[in-house]
A = this chain, B = another copy of it.
Amino acid sequence: MRLRDYLPYRLSVASNKASGLIARAYQARFGLTIWEWRVIAVLGEGAPLTAQAVCEATAMDKVTVSRAIRALDARRLVKRTPRPADKRASDVTLTPEGQAIYLEIAPMALHYEAALLEGFSEEERAQLTTLLDKLEARLAGLTAAGGDAP
């Protein structure tokens, strides 16, 4: 077997390079970690989300989400509104400052994505989407089956 042809390895290298590239930009321009950015990205769609909902939307661990939200709250980029119906949870939304950052950072993110895909034909982009869909579906199946649940 050749490591350089091994799919999980290739995914890992590609993902780390892409994330690293973009994370450096977020860090340099806004002082945001990649997780803080992810939280902002999902909140940028407008709807208030609980931390739990953020977990699901970002594929992040609940501890990571908790810390990201706390950091964003400390910088007044998000606001937490305790739910009357369930006092354990809070609705999280972007503050106007958070919105402003979102509106600045989202185009930058899309620009990076466009740079990554420069030179890809429309057909290739569609293929990539389809293949990632299939891969995700397989992974969902495998992780569900393989987990040593109690």
Is chain A's interface secondary structure helix, strand, loop, or mixed overall? helix
For A104-124 the 0/1 string (1 means CB < 8 A from B) is 001001101101111110001
Whether B13 and A59, one on each chain, are in contact in the complex, defined by CB atoms closer than 8 angstroms, is yes
Contacts of A47 in B (CB 8 A): none
Q: How far is the CB of A117 from chain B (nearest CB, A)?
A: 7
* Number of chain A interface residues as a range: 35 or more
Contacts of A118 in B (CB 8 A): 138
Contacts of A13 in B (CB 8 A): 59, 136
Contacts of A127 in B (CB 8 A): 127, 131
Q: How far is the CB of A148 from chain B (nearest CB, A)?
A: 8
- The answer to whether the Cβ of A150 comes within 8 Å of any Cβ in the partner chain is no
The docked-state distance in angstroms from the alpha carbon of A21 to that of B138 is 12
Contacts of A138 in B (CB 8 A): 115-119
Whether A8 and B15, one on each chain, are in contact in the complex, defined by CB atoms closer than 8 angstroms, is yes
- The answer to whether the Cβ of A81 comes within 8 Å of any Cβ in the partner chain is no
For A59-91 the 0/1 string (1 means CB < 8 A from B) is 100000000000000000000000000000000
Contacts of A58 in B (CB 8 A): 3
- The answer to whether the Cβ of A149 comes within 8 Å of any Cβ in the partner chain is no
Whether A8 and B18, one on each chain, are in contact in the complex, defined by CB atoms closer than 8 angstroms, is yes
Q: Which of B2, B8, B24, B117 contacts A146 (CB 8 A)?
A: B24
What are 9 sample pairs from A and B whose C-beta atoms fall under 8 A apart?
Answer: A1-B109, A3-B41, A10-B136, A12-B18, A13-B136, A17-B136, A17-B143, A124-B131, A124-B134
